[in-house]
Amino acid sequence: MSTVKFTVSALAVIAASATAAAARDQVQVSGSSTVLPYSTIVAEAFGENMDFPVPVVESGGTGSGLQKFCEGVGENTIDIANASRPMRDAERETCTANGVTDIMEVRIGYDGIVFATAAAAPDFAFTPADWFNALSAKVVRDGQVVDNTAANWNEVNPGLPAQEILAFIPGTKHGTREVFEEKVILAGCEESGAMEAFVASGMDEDAAEEACTTLRTDGKAVDIDGDYTETLSRIESSPNGIGVFGLSFYENNTDKLKVGTIGGVTPSTETIASGEYPVSRPLFFYVKAAHFEVIPGLPEFVQFFVADEIAGPDGPLAEYGLVSDPELAATQEAVAAGTTMQ
Amino acid sequence: MTDDPDHKPASLLQQDARTKARNAAEKRFRWYGIIAIAISMIALVVLLATILTAGAGAFRQTYLNIPVTLDPAVLDPKGNRDPAEMAKVLTLSYGRVLDAAVEATVARHGIRIEGLSDKDIDGLISKEASAQVRDRVLAEPDLVGQTVEFDVLTGGRIDGYFKGRVTMDSAARDSNTSPAQLQLAQELANRGEIVTRFNWNFLRLADASDQRPEAAGVGAAIVGSFYMMLVVLFLAVPIGVAASIYLEEFAPKNRWTDIIEVNISNLAAVPSIVFGILGLAAFINFAGLPQSAPIVGGLVLTLMTLPRIIIPTRAALKAVPPSIRDAALGVGASRMQSVFHHVLPLATPGILTGMILGLAQALGETAPLLLIGMVAFIRDIPSGLPQGLFDPASALPVQVYNWTQRSDPAFIERASGAIIVLLVFLLCMNVLAIWLRRKFERRW
């Protein structure tokens, strides 16, 4: 008999709980895994300094975060989406179609992308052109467009060590890949004159760009779909490898990694802030203004995030590896005024 | 007996070629079996050894004992000891008070080390310390102005040094510590100010951000997993057992019950992520239950566990000999009486075993929780029941997954520690299942 009683009471519990699902009282954040550590640092500081619960921060990537963000407005949807690239037009349209209209875009700072080898490897001083010539599927040799056959770095540039080419680059689902292609491979393509040669060989502009960013598939460029910890363990198991990392990840693992320079500039928060180090990108988060009135602590959390004590050059985020935004004051004003995207 | 003239009578003492071959085949087969067991045992031992060596550190933690002068000028600028006013002073200011306290301690011991910077001294202690001091001061505002002893966590690198994870060599290349800082830590440990002891906080505290691995614990994950198991226990078990009893004892055998049977076996083999997709659609988007909540996690795991409870329960019911039912019916019991008074009690050990194994499987599941927002940074421990079912919570396997993705190497130790906690829970459940089976098993 007890089984029957159990079942009945259990069903009663579900029924009661479904109706009693109380209003959500903590901020929900999702999105980019690059922004995740910064977001958790701020969430933690927010929770211990304010009388609000600590925001819940999920990761999963910029794309999936924005997708969840654009599902609609209401307590069952997230309040903030972290992004390591600006929102795309298509995503904006999905948002509008689902009634997510008043969106605040907040730029929190910049993230550097660095190239690092195992600590025992020789020093590398790259230029974007070296990366293009090492990894692109088609390169220009003596004015001719040929398949890339370079096996060692010194074949690409005599100034580099005679080490086998093996690069662990972020997979295509990462926002970092886009920056890598645009700021390193494409820049190197133009710098080395290969772009002109591609156009001269009869391609139009788009096809030439496509040819620049098509990477070789003979195992020299390895896509890493996991996160930086996977790249690190790949480098530890194959000491000839060179990995692409976020600056903050490198700064937490300087005992295992050695960073290469780009155009003679060593990446650091200073050289990235001054613009000397070329490979960086802005980090954002997007907020639903419609949730400000509904979710307790949301406006306070957004203001807390961009406050000088947190996102400023002496704050904990900069300490962790975020390059603080020189225009932080403008962002603070926009947040205070509640300016939404047009 | 035989017409073969060459056939010699078989001797008991001398085996013929065929017997030898058969015996050899058996011997070889035994060896294959032993080799198979040895391979799996070696794999298990290697796995356990890696996890135990990597995770043992999580259960020990290094603390620094320092007297902190709670400067009223910083902590209570208005001077009225009003907690509401004092709450406006952020942890960042407490950090400066603590920095001064650590520097004073180093100066008091007269420790001089070449190349030691103020940053090295301040970096001795965890950033968690300022939150700890602030909470204490806000709880007892009268402490302001006094000098109070605090036991604060040391930074992740210092903790790693005492556990052997960080060495002088690695520190020389590490931008977050320096050999001078480690020497200072060693000096303080020699003077008894830095001590390493059992880390209860690992089991009590919730997750912490990337900057303070030393303060991270599995508390929220244990509570979350516990709540989810409660939901599964109270839903999957009664529903699963009721369904099995009906199907096994009462349902007519026709096409419908065949279809149901096939579907149950099928569901048991469906990948668990599918249940997560279902949970997102049904419980969050349709029923409006909150994200990241153990109630949703529990409901999803219930769906996943149901077929895994129904199948062994039906097997246990089937194993009860029909003579028991016949005897009960023969003395005039109704079918329901025969089931509940005779069959069910005899099937209980099998049902319990199936139930516990189903729960153990649900405890180790991560994939279905990904889509319902439970794979997240959860800093607050969920409140008590029943409200706690709706608070955001983490789960043990989720915590392991989260920590392996963090950049600070100290989180690898924490992740292995969480695996140990999970393994201990699983071991307890499996031992309980075996014990119940042994204790109540009936043979006919």
Q: Sorting pLDDT into bands at 50, 70 and 90, what band is B329?
A: very high
Q: Cα–Cα distance between B372 and B44 in angstroms, integer?
A: 32
Do the Cβ atoms of B289 and A249 come within 8 Å? no
B-chain residues near A248 (CB < 8 A): 407
Q: Is residue B34 situated within a structural domain?
A: no
Lowest-confidence range among A283-287, B74-78, B251-255?
B74-78
What CATH number corresponds to the domain at position B269? 1.10.3720.10
Q: Cα–Cα distance between A139 and A149 in angstroms, integer?
A: 9
Q: Cα–Cα distance between A309 and B204 in angstroms, integer?
A: 30
**Which tens digits make up the pLDDT trace of B385-434?**
888 899 999 999 999 999 998 888 889 999 999 999 999 999 999 999 88
Task: Tell whether the model's pLDDT for residue A1 goes beyond 80.
Answer: no
| Mode of pairing for the β-strands spanning A28-31 and A56-58 | parallel
Q: Is residue B95 situated within a structural domain?
A: yes
Do the Cβ atoms of A21 and B291 come within 8 Å? no
Q: Is residue B30 situated within a structural domain?
A: no
- Is the dihedral angle over the CA atoms A292, A297, A300, A306 positive or is it negative? negative
Domain boundary among B199, B230, B250: B199
Q: Is residue B41 situated within a structural domain?
A: no
CB of B246 within 8 Å of a chain A CB? The answer is no
CB of B242 within 8 Å of a chain A CB? The answer is yes
Q: What percent of chain A has pLDDT over 70?
A: 93
Mean of the pLDDT values across residues B24-40?
A: 96
User: Residue B120: its pLDDT value, please?
Assistant: 87
- Cα-based distances in Å from B246 to A175, B252, B323, B324: 53, 10, 19, 18
- B230 with B268, same domain? yes
Domain boundary among B145, B171, B199: B199
Overall domain count for chain B: 2
User: Residue A20: its pLDDT value, please?
Assistant: 46
Q: Which residue has the tokens 């199936």?
A: B354
CB of B87 within 8 Å of a chain A CB? The answer is yes
- Asked if residue B394 lies in contact with residue B221, where contact means CB atoms within 8 angstroms, the answer is yes
- Report which of B157, B198, B199 is spatially closest to residue B179, judged by C-alpha positions: B157
A-chain residues near B392 (CB < 8 A): 26, 56
Mean of the pLDDT values across residues B338-357?
A: 91
- Report which of A252, A335, A247, A291 is spatially closest to residue A55, judged by C-alpha positions: A291
User: Residue A19: its pLDDT value, please?
Assistant: 46
B-chain residues near A56 (CB < 8 A): 291-292, 373, 376-378, 392
Do the Cβ atoms of A22 and B90 come within 8 Å? no
Q: Cα–Cα distance between B175 and B306 in angstroms, integer?
A: 51
B-chain residues near A33 (CB < 8 A): 405
DSSP B333-396: --HHHHIIIIIHHHHHHHHHHHHHHHHHHHHT--HHHHTTT-SEE--SPP-STTGGGGS----H
Residue A221 in tokens? 């460029």
- B143 with B284, same domain? no
Q: Cα–Cα distance between A295 and A277 in angstroms, integer?
A: 40
Higher local confidence (pLDDT), A105 or A74 = A105
- Report which of B375, B369, B363 is spatially closest to residue B278, judged by C-alpha positions: B369
Residue A266 DSSP label = P
- Report which of B440, B283, B433, B443 is spatially closest to residue B371, judged by C-alpha positions: B283
Mean of the pLDDT values across residues A180-200?
A: 87
- B279 with B144, same domain? no
Q: Cα–Cα distance between A123 and A116 in angstroms, integer?
A: 10
Q: Is B215 left (phi over 0), alpha (psi -120 to 50) or beta?
A: alpha
Q: Give me the residues paired with residue A58 across strands.
A: B376
Q: Cα–Cα distance between B50 and B59 in angstroms, integer?
A: 15
- B110 with B76, same domain? yes
Do the Cβ atoms of A252 and B408 come within 8 Å? yes
Mean pLDDT of chain A: 87
Task: Tell whether the model's pLDDT for residue B91 goes beyond 90.
Answer: no
Q: Is residue B371 situated within a structural domain?
A: yes
CB of B369 within 8 Å of a chain A CB? The answer is no
Q: Cα–Cα distance between A238 and A120 in angstroms, integer?
A: 12
- B192 with B227, same domain? no
Mean of the pLDDT values across residues B229-255?
A: 93
Q: Is residue B137 situated within a structural domain?
A: yes
User: Residue B39: its pLDDT value, please?
Assistant: 97
Task: Tell whether the model's pLDDT for residue A79 goes beyond 60.
Answer: yes
Q: Is residue B28 situated within a structural domain?
A: no
Do you find a cis peptide bond into B386, omega within 30 degrees of 0?
yes
Do the Cβ atoms of B210 and A41 come within 8 Å? yes
Residue A161 in tokens? 């060590």
User: Residue B93: its pLDDT value, please?
Assistant: 86
Q: Cα–Cα distance between B82 and B145 in angstroms, integer?
A: 14
**Which tens digits make up the pLDDT trace of A263-311?**
889 998 888 888 889 888 899 999 999 999 899 999 999 999 999 989 9
What domains appear along chain A, each with residue ranges and CATH number?
Answer: 22-110+281-337 (3.40.190.10), 122-240 (3.40.190)
User: Residue B8: its pLDDT value, please?
Assistant: 61
**Which tens digits make up the pLDDT trace of B172-223?**
888 888 899 999 999 999 999 999 999 999 999 999 998 899 999 999 999 9
Residues whose CB falls within 8 Å of the CB of residue A130, separated by 6 or more in sequence, listed in order: A153, A156, A157, A160, A188
- H helical segments located in chain A: 2-20, 36-49, 62-69, 89-97, 128-135, 153-156, 175-179, 187-191, 194-200, 205-213, 228-237, 247-252, 269-273, 298-306, 308-311, 316-320, 328-337
User: Residue B305: its pLDDT value, please?
Assistant: 93
User: Residue B10: its pLDDT value, please?
Assistant: 65
- Asked if residue A301 lies in contact with residue A55, where contact means CB atoms within 8 angstroms, the answer is yes
Measured between CA atoms, the residue of chain A closest to residue B242 is A3
- Asked if residue B376 lies in contact with residue B207, where contact means CB atoms within 8 angstroms, the answer is no
Q: Cα–Cα distance between A80 and A89 in angstroms, integer?
A: 18
Do the Cβ atoms of A48 and B134 come within 8 Å? yes
Tabulate helix, strand, coil % of chain A (nearest 5): 45, 20, 35
Task: Tell whether the model's pLDDT for residue B12 goes beyond 80.
Answer: no
Domain boundary among B199, B227, B249: B199
Mean of the pLDDT values across residues A154-171?
A: 89
CB of A23 within 8 Å of a chain B CB? The answer is no
CB of A98 within 8 Å of a chain B CB? The answer is no
- B188 with B311, same domain? no
Q: 271-310 in B: which are within 8 Å (CB) of A?
A: 284-285, 287-292, 295, 299
- B224 with B268, same domain? yes
Q: State the residue range of the domain holding B143.
A: 59-199
Q: Is residue B71 situated within a structural domain?
A: yes
- B315 with B366, same domain? yes
Task: Tell whether the model's pLDDT for residue B4 goes beyond 70.
Answer: no
- B236 with B353, same domain? yes
**Which tens digits make up the pLDDT trace of B262-294?**
999 999 889 989 999 999 889 988 888 888 899
- B143 with B271, same domain? no
- Asked if residue B343 lies in contact with residue B325, where contact means CB atoms within 8 angstroms, the answer is yes
Q: Give me the residues paired with residue B149 across strands.
A: B67
Q: Cα–Cα distance between B414 and B363 in angstroms, integer?
A: 19
Task: Tell whether the model's pLDDT for residue B443 goes beyond 80.
Answer: no
Q: 271-290 in A: which are within 8 Å (CB) of B?
A: none
Who among B134, B242, B285 is closest to A3 (CB)?
A: B242
Q: 33-52 in A: which are within 8 Å (CB) of B?
A: 33, 36-37, 39-41, 43-45, 47-49, 51
Q: Sorting pLDDT into bands at 50, 70 and 90, what band is A260?
A: very high
- In single-letter form, the type of residue at position B303 comes to L
SS3 A57: strand
- Residue A211 C-alpha, separation from nearest chain B C-alpha, in angstroms: 34
Mean pLDDT of chain B: 90
**Which tens digits make up the pLDDT trace of B110-165?**
888 888 888 888 889 998 999 999 999 988 888 888 899 999 999 999 999 999 88
- B252 with B388, same domain? yes
Q: What is the Cα gyration radius of chain B?
A: 31
- B175 with B283, same domain? no
- Residue A151 C-alpha, separation from nearest chain B C-alpha, in angstroms: 30
